[in-house]
Amino acid sequence: MKANNHSFGISTRFFYLLVVTLLSVSFMAEGVVRSEKRVFEEGTYKEIKGKVVDANSGDDLIFANVTIEGTNIATVTNSEGSFALKVPNEMLNKSITFSYIGYQKKSIPISTLDDDKNKIKLEILSVSLDAITVFPKDPDLLIEAVLNHRKENYYQTEHKMTAFYREIIRKRRTYASLSEAVVEVYKQGYSNQKDDAVKLLKGRKSVDYDKLDTITFKLQGGPYSTLMLDIMKSPYMILRYDVLEMYDFEIANITRQDNRILYILNFKQKDWVTEPLFYGSLYIDSETMAIVSASYNVNTEDKKAVGAMFIKRKPAGADVYPTKASYLVTYREKDGKWIYGYSRGEITFKVNWKKRLFNTVYNTAIEMAITDWEETSEKSFRGSERLKTNVVMSDTEMGFANDDFWGDYNVIEPEKSIESAIKKIQKNIEKLKN
């Protein structure tokens, strides 16, 4: 067997974690990056809040899509199934659509929804083999069909997107760093080799290095890291022809999304591949061969090798490695074409100190949801406008602001634990002012 020459060094671009020795302990000064867009006056939109759950079990449906019907305005539910969607007044006569893979889509007129505490119940969709005229038997041919139809299934034109980005760092259950931002994304066509670009519109953050003991974690890449999870635009991690030979594929099951039948294609690295690669599931539209969603993980069995992937720098006397690295990307469809809609990455790190009895566990997460998008003929952002690809969001000039900071921008509803952390941090900032 020939040696594997496809170094993972390429794909580590998508989620760097920078570990540095702590030099100082302080809250960042408050400062708001102001939007270049028009800020709508209060009262020009209505905010709808609620929760999306399984109709039978009552379980929360996390990362479900919430969309104003007939528009590109959308958000996703958080890890507790909760959502918040700001609807412009001129769209109050429309409906909100709730969708989740494996469940029946539901559309509800906005006029019938309350401002808060709406409970949206989705029914599980059952799929029988009778509904499929041709069931694929060869998983390798199926993934090849996906690649062959990439150009016709995904937008080849440029788009401008409004998006909400969040990143968190926790030491066990305590929040040590919180960064949120509304950004504009210049999304290149899916066959264009140029990288997507990001411009910051609004942001807020706080870092409490006291919570991080003797080291500081910094996530490098910010919104660019979430864009790199778009495996149809950045295929070198899984879906490049010369990488496919390193994976075993298996057709595991079928499910539905809306009126589409989806093949669930599982994959994992071959036994002879020694470097850490991915394993997970691709959800493929049976008619068009488009990947509509993907969930995948990094193989973390080789601690030393996987640690080298993610850790750019670490303090002396510490052995740092990830114990879990999981990712999710979903796509949205309009007029028969698909485009990036949401992605999330979560990594758990363990720090073993050579002269200490106990280890420390840190959890990191990044996510970005596209809340609106449109095709554009404009050129990409100028160099002075765009964020750098190696940006560390916690080091940018941002700070927590008041409750109406986001204005009419749609954001992902924070979990209760994050809300509590935000309130606590805001109180601390107020103390610093006085």
- State pLDDT tens for residues 188-215: 999 998 999 999 999 988 776 566 555 6
Does 374 reside within a domain? Answer: yes
* Per-residue confidence (pLDDT) for residue 6, from 0 to 100: 44
Please give the residue that has the higher pLDDT: either 101 or 177: 101
Q: In what order do the strands lie in the sheet with 197-207?
A: 197-207, 174-187, 159-171, 360-375, 337-353, 318-334, 291-298, 278-285, 260-269, 247-257
* Per-residue confidence (pLDDT) for residue 210, from 0 to 100: 64
* Per-residue confidence (pLDDT) for residue 379, from 0 to 100: 93
Please give the residue that has the higher pLDDT: either 5 or 100: 100
Look at residue 66 and tell me whether its pLDDT is greater than 90: yes
Does 297 reside within a domain? Answer: yes
Look at residue 7 and tell me whether its pLDDT is greater than 50: no
209-to-123, 174, 313, 364, 411 alpha-carbon distances in Å:
45, 11, 17, 15, 26
CB neighbours of residue 51 within 10 Å: 20
Q: What is the residue-averaged pLDDT of the chain?
A: 83
Does 424 reside within a domain? Answer: no
Does 1 reside within a domain? Answer: no
* Per-residue confidence (pLDDT) for residue 295, from 0 to 100: 96
In this predicted model, what pLDDT tens digit does every residue of 348-388 receive, in sequence order? Answer: 988 887 777 778 888 899 999 999 999 999 999 988 899 99
* Per-residue confidence (pLDDT) for residue 264, from 0 to 100: 94
Please give the residue that has the higher pLDDT: either 171 or 330: 330
* Per-residue confidence (pLDDT) for residue 383, from 0 to 100: 87
* Per-residue confidence (pLDDT) for residue 253, from 0 to 100: 86
Does 64 reside within a domain? Answer: no
In this predicted model, what pLDDT tens digit does every residue of 29-61 receive, in sequence order? Answer: 233 333 333 344 557 899 999 999 999 999 999
The domain total for the chain is 1
Q: How confident is the model at residue 14 (pLDDT cuts 50, 70, 90)?
A: very low
Task: Identify each DSSP E strand in 286-336 by its residue range.
Answer: 291-298, 318-334
What DSSP string describes 31-77?
Answer: --PPPSSPPPPTTSEEEEEEEEEETTT--B-TT-EEEETTSS-EEE-
Does 55 reside within a domain? Answer: no
Does 73 reside within a domain? Answer: no
User: Can you tell me the mean pLDDT for 149-170?
Assistant: 95
User: Can you tell me the mean pLDDT for 217-238?
Assistant: 87
In this predicted model, what pLDDT tens digit does every residue of 389-416 receive, in sequence order? Answer: 888 888 887 776 666 788 888 998 888 8
Q: Which of 173-177, 269-273, 334-338, 397-401 is predicted with the least confidence, judged by mean pLDDT?
A: 397-401
Look at residue 20 and tell me whether its pLDDT is greater than 90: no
Q: pLDDT exceeding 90 applies to what percent of the chain? A: 52
Q: How confident is the model at residue 23 (pLDDT cuts 50, 70, 90)?
A: very low
* Per-residue confidence (pLDDT) for residue 427, from 0 to 100: 66
Query: Tokens standing for 174?
Result: 């305590």
Max mean pLDDT among 22-26, 186-190, 430-434 falls in 186-190
Question: The domain containing residue 375 runs over which residues?
Answer: 11-34+135-402
* Per-residue confidence (pLDDT) for residue 19, from 0 to 100: 52
Does 125 reside within a domain? Answer: no
